[in-house]
Amino acid sequence: MRRINLFTIMMLMASMAMAQKFLTLEDVMSGGNNWYNLQPENRFTAWWGNVPVETTADEVKTLLDGKTLFTIEQLNETVGEKIAHSGHNVVFPYGGKTIVQVRGNGQRVQIDWKKGAVVWRQSIPEGAEHQDFNLTSKHLAYTLDGNLYVKTADGEELQISTDGSTDGSNDIVYGQSVHRDEFGISKGTFWSPDGKQLAFYRMDQSMVMGYPQVDITTRIASVKMDKYPMAGETSHQVKVGIFDVEKRTTVWLNLIGEPDDYHTNLTWAPDGKRLYVFELNRAQNDLRLIAYNTTTGKLEACLYQECSDKYVEPMHGLDFLPWDNTKAIMQSQRDGYNHLYLLDVNTGSLEQITYGDFVVQEVVGFNTKAKCVLYLSNAMEPRTSCLFSRNLVKPRCTLIGAGEGVHSASLSEDGQQVIDRYSSPTVPRSINLYDTKDGKGKNILTAKDPWADQGYAIPEITSGSIKAADGKTDLYYRMVKPVGFDPTKKYPTVVYVYGGPHAHNVDARWHWCLRGWEAYMATKGYLLFILDNRGSEWRGRDFEQVTFHHLGEVEMEDQMEGVKFLKSLPYVDADRMGVHGWSYGGYMTTNLMCSYPDVFKVGVAGGPVIDWKYYEVMYGERYMGTPEQNPEGYARCSLLGKAKNLKGRLQIIFGYNDPICVPQHTLSFVRVCEDAGAQLDLFTYPGDGHNMFGRDQIHLHERITRYFEDFLAK
């Protein structure tokens, strides 16, 4: 009898095991071969002027009634060659007109799909990089090597610069992003609204030291010197030029300040007569908004100044009101949180239009008719990002759509409608179409949980808050419990950490912003804990700036509050605690391993900062000043002196060609460990940069997991 019982139970267990699938790295990582199949259902949308459309691989149709506008096949037939490959990457250049713009086969083509006719086409110059096409003028700006060119709508090719580097040295670079993509800068050309003038950056970095990046794929390894201005060292010098396409002339802005100041967030006046530049001194504590005359290049007005005893960080340009060329939305966190201000560009007068202990995360656009600005903020709750409409006539603020989760929004041409997408801890994806005046609308898609739907065992994922080390600030965490959690057992626990500015890890999107690897680790029997310490984003200026001049210290104190909390939980095995993080999180991981050698048994640090003197000027000096100004801070925050404390198992992994946290960080740490007799483990991905993608991402996470399995699991 007993024997039969056992047999029955075993059969039952076997069938249960068969029924339950466990997530693998191939399922949870974007480089994995089953990742796509486990994504929440989606519909791809776009705006054709004020008409919401749905794009598929084969066609574009109206979103609401599903009427086909055109098929890809049809477009290619019209063009006479296979130029379009998918409905997802077509452009509707002119709302209301039945014209679509397609790029392919080295050309840009505008097609009237109703007439079945090509209305404009132009070949793209071979090798053109950093292409910036203006839909109004149809002029194309682009770069080749370090030089800048314009191809006009009628096909004339104009060389704007002639002293850009063509020898690969990158000494002088035109029309590309400057200041190492800090201050919200991501490109180097800026068309005036009418597309007749082109503002552009010129960066002279001939005086900047190069970091040797070794390429092992050549017959004999070769080297490229990558311009990398390290904290306190000579930085590059940036100028702003304006090219007038009709006149064929360039004027240079008469920039004020020092040659190594920052010139950010270039914004054109709607009438093209002015260019607005946010200018910040190298010490990053004195910001000015300057209006330049685009004909003379001369300074017309200093409209705004913001100083700080820590730093000011301009991240956004001006957003002019579509109905009033004299007024623009400006963003500042001068009252302690990033908020919106209405700036009169003639008088410089400023009116704050959002208030409160929350941050505005993004200006989405304007409802031109209702005279509203649409923006995302976490006014509902710190972990959220919800859509609001602020009426600029009557001071009224309206929530549009769900007051939960994390949203992104795309406005129609007139801003009266919005396609709002969000997820919340329990909603994988929701797509809605709203009227931005009253928030009324309809649901387009609510996706089911694809993991549960396909029978995978899903760990329990929760979020909560603890107090920071200051005893008063709320910090939010995510906890991922092992699959098959049993509260009477003790689990090995891994703290995943980032900890630096400009980022957070915990928010109210699906699964509380879970990273796929955490789910995978949960299937292996680990408890994961992720805490956004002070210094991270979405919590306001002071929350972030508390780390000023001593990066890593407050962040670690807060993480140790997380550890204290974990140790209070009966199911956390305090003898088996690990830590993992990348980049700033690699710095935190290494720092925690060396600072709390008796707490963390195993750590995996990726692409870490080791000493801020090896980091670049823009980001590094903002938080740390220069090594000359803040020697004590640099010394305290360097991990080189802490290597000797290392006791646990620490593996550092880095991209062999990391241009951001250059390998000198990791290798210097390796060297001091060796000198101190400390053992650490090391790995690298030749050819990869600061992060790993595709199959390397799978390999990397298999590696990270294996390390915890080797040394923390038992």
- What strand order describes the sheet that includes 427-435? 406-411, 417-424, 427-435, 441-446
Please give the single-letter amino acid code of residue 249. T
Of the candidates 639, 680, 678, the one whose C-alpha atom is nearest the C-alpha of residue 553 is 639
- Tell me if residue 658 is catalytic: yes
CB of 216 to its own copies, least distance (A): 5
3-state secondary structure 214-241: EECCCCCCEEEEEECCECCCCCCEEEEE
Cα distances from 186 to residues 120, 189, 223, 289, 347, in angstroms, run 29, 10, 26, 19, 30
User: Which run of H or E residues covers position 150?
Assistant: strand 147-151
Q: Coil, strand, or helix at residue 678? A: coil
CB of 390 to its own copies, least distance (A): 47
Question: What is the C-alpha to C-alpha distance for residues 433 and 417, in angstroms, rounded to an integer?
Answer: 7
Crossing angle (nearest 10°) for helices 584-595 and 553-567? 70
Question: What is the C-alpha to C-alpha distance for residues 71 and 59, in angstroms, rounded to an integer?
Answer: 4
CB of 646 to its own copies, least distance (A): 13
- Per annotation, catalytic residue among 536, 583, 638, 668: 583
CB of 211 to its own copies, least distance (A): 6
Residues 411-430, one symbol each (x = binds its own copies by CB under 8 A, - = not), give --------------------
CB of 707 to its own copies, least distance (A): 10
Contacts (CB under 8 A) with its own copies, residues 643-682: 656, 662-664, 667-668, 670-671, 674-675, 677, 679, 681-682
Contact 485, 50 (CB under 8 A): no
Piece of 117-125, 214-222, 396-404, 556-564 that binds its own copies (CB under 8 A): 214-222
If the CB atoms of residues 433 and 692 are measured against its own copies, the closer one turns out to be 692
Piece of 62-70, 127-135, 218-226, 536-544 that binds its own copies (CB under 8 A): 218-226
C-beta atoms surrounding 674 within 10 Å: 12
CB of 586 to its own copies, least distance (A): 17
- Cα–Cα–Cα angle for 167, 146, 622, rounded to 5 degrees: 110
- What strand order describes the sheet that includes 339-344? 319-321, 324-332, 339-344, 350-352
- Per annotation, catalytic residue among 658, 665, 668, 701: 658
Question: What is the C-alpha to C-alpha distance for residues 586 and 588, in angstroms, rounded to an integer?
Answer: 5
2, 219, 394, 442: which one binds its own copies (CB under 8 A): 219
306, 702, 709, 713: which one binds its own copies (CB under 8 A): 702
3-state secondary structure 624-657: HCCCCCCHHHHHHHCCHHHHHHCCCEEEEEEECC
Question: What is the C-alpha to C-alpha distance for residues 453 and 659, in angstroms, rounded to an integer?
Answer: 41
CB of 58 to its own copies, least distance (A): 33
685, 701, 708, 712: which one binds its own copies (CB under 8 A): 685
Q: Is 299 in the site for its own copies (CB under 8 A)?
A: no
Q: Is 45 in the site for its own copies (CB under 8 A)?
A: no
Chain centroid to Cα 701, Å, comes to 21
If the CB atoms of residues 230 and 447 are measured against its own copies, the closer one turns out to be 230
If the CB atoms of residues 490 and 703 are measured against its own copies, the closer one turns out to be 703
Piece of 130-138, 221-229, 394-402, 581-589 that binds its own copies (CB under 8 A): 221-229
Residues 154-193, one symbol each (x = binds its own copies by CB under 8 A, - = not), give ----------------------------------------
Q: Is 695 in the site for its own copies (CB under 8 A)?
A: yes
56, 699, 709, 713: which one binds its own copies (CB under 8 A): 699
If the CB atoms of residues 133 and 612 are measured against its own copies, the closer one turns out to be 612
Contact 58, 11 (CB under 8 A): no
Q: How many positions of this chain bind its own copies (CB under 8 A)?
A: 44
Of the candidates 40, 37, 16, the one whose C-alpha atom is nearest the C-alpha of residue 26 is 37
Q: Is 35 in the site for its own copies (CB under 8 A)?
A: no
Q: Is 228 in the site for its own copies (CB under 8 A)?
A: yes
Q: Is 206 in the site for its own copies (CB under 8 A)?
A: no
CB of 548 to its own copies, least distance (A): 24
Report DSSP letters for 407-433, one per residue.
EEEEE-TTSSEEEEEEEETTEEEEEEE
If the CB atoms of residues 225 and 560 are measured against its own copies, the closer one turns out to be 225
Question: What is the C-alpha to C-alpha distance for residues 86 and 76, in angstroms, rounded to an integer?
Answer: 11
Contact 198, 251 (CB under 8 A): no
Question: What is the C-alpha to C-alpha distance for residues 264 and 319, in angstroms, rounded to an integer?
Answer: 14
- Cα–Cα–Cα angle for 51, 97, 45, rounded to 5 degrees: 30
CB of 614 to its own copies, least distance (A): 8
If the CB atoms of residues 268 and 654 are measured against its own copies, the closer one turns out to be 654
CB of 691 to its own copies, least distance (A): 14
If the CB atoms of residues 219 and 394 are measured against its own copies, the closer one turns out to be 219
If the CB atoms of residues 211 and 517 are measured against its own copies, the closer one turns out to be 211
CB of 235 to its own copies, least distance (A): 13
Piece of 118-126, 177-185, 222-230, 537-545 that binds its own copies (CB under 8 A): 222-230
Please give the single-letter amino acid code of residue 348. G
Contact 107, 100 (CB under 8 A): no
17, 214, 452, 635: which one binds its own copies (CB under 8 A): 214
Q: Is 710 in the site for its own copies (CB under 8 A)?
A: yes
If the CB atoms of residues 172 and 680 are measured against its own copies, the closer one turns out to be 680
Question: What is the C-alpha to C-alpha distance for residues 492 and 509, in angstroms, rounded to an integer?
Answer: 26
CB of 649 to its own copies, least distance (A): 9
Of the candidates 465, 459, 492, the one whose C-alpha atom is nearest the C-alpha of residue 478 is 465
If the CB atoms of residues 226 and 300 are measured against its own copies, the closer one turns out to be 226
Q: Phi and psi dihedrals of 639, rounded to 5? A: -90, -5
- Per annotation, catalytic residue among 85, 502, 550, 690: 690
If the CB atoms of residues 531 and 610 are measured against its own copies, the closer one turns out to be 610
State the catalytic residues: 583, 658, 690
Binding site for its own copies (CB under 8 A): 209-212, 214, 216-217, 219-223, 225, 228, 230, 233, 614, 656, 662-664, 667-668, 670-671, 674-675, 677, 679, 681-687, 695-696, 698-699, 702-703, 706, 710
